[in-house]
Copies of this chain bind each other. A is one copy, B any other.
Amino acid sequence: VSPTLHELARAVAGEVRGDAARQLTGIATLAAATPEQLSFLTNPRYRAEAEGSRAGALLVGPGVEFAERNLLVAEDPYFALAQLLELYHPVERPAAGVDARAVVGPGCDIHPSATVGALAVIGPGSVVGEGVVVASHAVVGSGCRIGARTVLHPHAVLYAGTELGADCVVHAGAVLGSDGFGYATREGVHVKVPQVGRVVVEDGVEIGANTTVDRAMLDETRLGAGSKIDNLVQVGHNVRLGKGCIVVAQAGIAGSTRLGAYVVVAGQAGVAGHLTLGDGARVAAKSAVFQDVEAGQQVAGIPAGPAASWRRQQARLRQLEEMHQRLLRLERRSGAVPGEGER
């Protein structure tokens, strides 16, 4: 039987307004929800859509008012949504065991509770922890370590020596441990600098599809605990991310740069090499960072500067045509003859 609004509220420590006994069969978007389903309003820009929704109840934050609607009011409605989605959609772990069509090298230590899919490849001497899932077509190089409950999706690739903590997720096509981009140019030849370090990923990190994280030249490229990396992100060799960083799709971080804890790099932004971004620094989407960023600072632009200055500059830029006209008027008034090439 489906849970009642009362039961859902209890699960997320929220409060009910309206019919607490109403049963809800699932969660759906505002547009798709039926009267038997719960929907949610976590972003105020969808208020009008919420008004028109047929949903049987709405999950909302404190202070959100709807006349004649069943509401589940949660302190942090987006967090409550995460909890309720998990309640309605429990994750199914595949059956434990190594598929007969997987290729496992000698000297591996595979926990009996781990799952290794058909056609997965695990190189010699690797350690695969409790409850780990290595999906079909994932490739784990030699001497890798994979912590408990970590999931490698199909076509994820770990080069030799990569270390993943517990509770990580690596999406399809992500590549960890490919060579860093380093060459010494000598008489017109770009001579490869051997990349003999590795990649270390701490606990609870999620890495998006087709993202690439290069191994260190020496020592480590390291992604801090709980960091979340989106799709198609590039992380250069010897980069270090502190804990809880967020790097959004198609962003890039060049070699040897260090991010403190809880740094956010928004989509398509770039950070040059050998820089330091302090704890809690935030880089706006599409920006290019060419110098260090202080802790807590927000930067934007190409090259990136303080975000507030960038916004003011953008506003002035939109007045540039007008400034030019005013300058011309002043010149005419003052009798100045514009020089050649000035129109």
Q: List the B side residues contacting A219 at CB < 8 Å.
A: 28-29, 31-32
Residue interface mask A276-295, B partner, CB < 8 A = 1: 00000000011010000000
Q: List the B side residues contacting A232 at CB < 8 Å.
A: 210, 212, 232, 234, 252
Residue interface mask A58-72, B partner, CB < 8 A = 1: 000000000000000
Q: List the B side residues contacting A228 at CB < 8 Å.
A: 181, 183, 190
Q: List the B side residues contacting A212 at CB < 8 Å.
A: 173, 208-210, 231-232, 249
How many copies of this chain sit in the oligomeric assembly? 3
Q: List the B side residues contacting A274 at CB < 8 Å.
A: 43, 45
Q: Are A326's CB and B331's CB within 8 A?
A: yes
Residue interface mask A128-149, B partner, CB < 8 A = 1: 0000000111010000000000
Q: Closest chain B residue to A196 by CB distance?
A: B89
List which A205-259 residues lie within 8 A (CB) of chain B.
206, 208-210, 212, 214, 217-219, 226, 228, 230-232, 234, 236, 238, 244, 246, 248-250, 252, 254
Q: Closest chain B residue to A248 by CB distance?
A: B181
Rounded to whole angstroms, the CA-CA distance of A83 and B104 in the bound complex is 34
Q: List the B side residues contacting A178 at CB < 8 Å.
A: 153, 171-172, 208-209, 231
Q: Closest chain B residue to A324 by CB distance?
A: B316
29 contacts between A and B (CB under 8 A): A28-B219, A31-B219, A85-B194, A86-B194, A91-B194, A117-B121, A136-B139, A153-B157, A153-B159, A171-B175, A181-B228, A188-B262, A189-B226, A209-B212, A210-B232, A212-B231, A230-B234, A232-B232, A232-B252, A236-B249, A249-B254, A254-B267, A270-B285, A286-B288, A317-B317, A323-B323, A326-B327, A327-B327, A333-B334
